[in-house]
Amino acid sequence: MTEDQPSAGDLEAPVSPPAADQQEGSNVEKDPSDWVTGEEAMTGAQASYLRTLSEQAGEDFDATLNKADASRRIDELQQRTGRGADS
């Protein structure tokens, strides 16, 4: 090894950034009522998952929900169906 090359002991392991839910200012746990885009139509992913949860819970699927209301409904149906619960 030459003087110009660092030895293995000189190299530091890369530091991974904190998980999204641990980052300062993260919106992972932001209340849907505080969402800037909460009044927009729900996303395709929300609609698909909400349709599945609604079927499993024996509830009607409401395609008119906005993003914030869809998020709240998903949380509610996850509780009722046991889906998405932490193991």
- Which two tokens mark 66? 């906005």
Cα–Cα distances (Å) from 80 to 43, 77, 87, in that order, read: 22, 5, 15
Mean pLDDT of the region 57-72: 95
Q: What is the pLDDT of residue 35?
A: 82
Global confidence as pTM: 0.62
∠ at Cα 83 (79, 84), nearest 5°? 90
Please indicate, yes or no, if residue 53 is contained in any of the structural domains.
yes
Q: What is the pLDDT of residues 71-81, one digit of tens each?
A: 999 999 999 99
Q: Which domain holds residue 52?
A: 38-87
Half-sphere exposure at residue 5, Cβ-oriented, CA atoms within 13 angstroms: 4
Please indicate, yes or no, if residue 12 is contained in any of the structural domains.
no
How many folded domains does the chain comprise?
A: 1
Residue 61 · residue 70 · CB < 8 Å: no
